[in-house]
Copies of this chain bind each other. A is one copy, B any other.
Amino acid sequence: MSDTTRSSALGSTGASELFQLLRDGRPRTRAELATMTGLARSTIGLRLDALTELGLVGPFADAVSTGGRPPSRVALIPSARVVLGADFGAGHLNLALTDLMGDELVSRRTEIDIADGPEAGLTAMVATADALLSHYGRSRADLIGVGIGLPGPVQFSTGRPVNPPIMPGWDGFDVPGWVRRHLDVPVLVDNDVNIMALGERSHSFPNTDHFLFVKVATGIGSGIISGGRLQRGAQGIAGDIGHVQIPRGAGIACHCGNVGCLEAVASGPAIARALRASGHDVAGGREVIELVRRGDIDAIQAVRQAGRDLGEVLTACVNVINPSVIAIGGSMAQAGEHLIAGVREIVYTRSMPLATEHLSIVQSRSGDRAAMIGASMLAIHHALSPAAIDELAAAV
């Protein structure tokens, strides 16, 4: 290909737009692509050459030969590059290596303490990333992006945590900048609930455009998908339902500085505190779940009441954003159906009939893996966007 021809195919947005059509992984003939885009066959050819040179697209090997020469098809090569999806919790790091479709290739769980600060946590991440890459026979050069979920508020545009309550040392830290000094690819950072929402939807509800994911653990938060897109709001803090006030919270102080917040009444530590007041020996949410599993009536009642409290706030969410699925995850969702039963009791009684007629309230189905996969999806969405593909092409 002459230099001039190549720059006309790569320098424009043409190749990246063609690539968007192939992102779903389906193989297509050149004729199909010409029909879909209205472009001349010759233009399609030039652009496919450019994408092939990048290694992102290639001939699709048809399984069955029909005798005659079959029309050759091209498709995205999911294994062309790899992606890292990281889920940081207070005490763990779950890290997955995925392909370009977000399918997990290999993953590993590491115990960490988020309070050791960003350099310790991110050093552990980079070391684990190298181990996973090596285990899977790939190198840092194969990496196309890193997605990271953190257990606190994050300014999505810069990837910096904003006053995260349980993450000493992380406030304002330039997470993408630090990571890029080791893994030189785009790094996307979001709060853990948003990546759980992305992962849960991608795994279990791919066709649900109005979806609410709720995490109930040490804190309470939600990730909102409206109109098929994750909604972060003006400051990136949409979905912050833990600090909505509820009637039963009257007079109860919350660590946020306000009183009466949902989180001060219905989180794991809040339920444990209430049970301690009535004489039970429970340190936190984990012991509450153990009590529930042993059939302790007080614990079951306390979890159900927490579900009702959560239901008070979700009733307002249902009227405001009108989702068709609410998935409830986080460690406290492991307390069987009791939490969700409390939620349903209130939401189905109090919300408008039209809003609840087709509303499902379910337990999270993807569990721990949702967050890693969601983080990877975040990175893929960015790494395969038209602008990013243009940049890749320009660097060839």
Contact = CB atoms under 8 A, between A and B. Distances in A.
Interface of A: 8, 11-14, 17, 35, 37-40, 43, 153, 162-163, 209-210, 222, 224, 226-227, 229, 231-241, 243-245, 247, 256, 258, 313, 315-317, 319-324, 350, 352, 354-355, 357-359
Given A226-B231, A227-B229, A247-B247, 8 more contacts: A14-B37, A153-B354, A227-B227, A238-B322, A241-B320, A244-B316, A320-B321, A321-B321
Nearest to A38: B12
B237 A354 contact: yes
Contact of A319 (B17, B35, B209, B241): B241
Nearest to A231: B226
Contacts of A162: 354
Given A153-B354, A237-B354, A357-B235, A245 B315 contact: yes
Given A210-B233, A233-B322, A324-B234, A352 B240 contact: yes
B323 A244 contact: no
Given A162-B354, A319-B244, A320-B239, A210 B226 contact: no
9 contacts: A153-B354, A162-B354, A222-B320, A224-B320, A232-B322, A235-B322, A235-B354, A238-B320, A238-B321
Q: How many copies does the complex hold?
A: 2
A359 B235 CA distance: 10
Query: Chain A interface mostly helix, strand, loop or mixed?
Result: loop
Nearest to A212: B320
A315 to B, nearest CB: 7
Contact of A316 (B210, B233, B320, B352): B320
Contact of A320 (B234, B240, B350): B240
Contacts of A38: 8, 11-14, 17
A98 to B, nearest CB: 25
A322 B237 contact: yes
A8 B13 CA distance: 22
A154 to B, nearest CB: 11
A261 to B, nearest CB: 10
Contacts of A321: 224, 231, 233, 238, 320-321
A249 to B, nearest CB: 11
**3 closest Cβ pairs, A-B complex:** A233-B322, A12-B38, A234-B324
Contacts of A240: 319-320, 322, 352, 355
B233 A226 contact: yes
Contact of A244 (B163, B236, B315): B315
Contact of A313 (B234, B243, B316, B352): B316
Contacts of A12: 35, 37-38
